[in-house]
Amino acid sequence: MIQQFKDFVFNRENRGKITLWVVGCLILGYLVVGVGQFVVLGFPDNPPVEYTVQWDSPRTEELWNRACRDCHSNETVWPWYSYVAPTSMLVVYHVNEGRESLNVSTDDVGEASDVGSQIRKDKMPPEQYIWLHPTAQLTDAEKDELIMGLLTTFR
């Protein structure tokens, strides 16, 4: 039985069949994951903005938009890969989690006071976000500016 399998796999005449079978399985798997994402997590979308933040300064707003807005507001800029499974599953999940913890597009910014410590501990923005959005990388001085601006804005 094992010898028959080896003979089939290593026979040059069967390479096309094997390649076609592998490609077919990959496409089928991709389609299953792609359809499953919309059932489990939903399609990337932005709910309506219910509240507009009155930022303490344009600089705070600029730093917020660079490093935080995509996950902590209803003004997410959805990149192309947020529509392609399986990466879309991760992106939608992370945005939903971010909005649950803090969403400045609603008038409930209950955990805004914790944001500064998350930024200081380098937990925000997350590394995987910075890999794909290099402008979100903040210097220590920019982190200090953002933290002070957020404290002033969300007193």
Percentage, residues of the chain above pLDDT 90: 46
pLDDT of residue 90: 86
Q: Which of 45, 52, 47 is nearest to 107 (CA)?
A: 52
pLDDT of residue 63: 96
For residue 25, give the amino acid letter. C
Q: Which of 120, 119, 141 is nearest to 67 (CA)?
A: 119
Asked if residue 148 has pLDDT above 90, the reply is yes
> Using alpha carbons only, what angle is made at residue 97 by residues 96 and 102, rounded to the nearest 5 degrees?
100
Q: What is the pTM (predicted TM-score) of this model?
A: 0.72
Cα diameter, the chain: 74
| Residue range 119-144, pLDDT digits in tens | 999 999 999 999 999 999 999 999 99
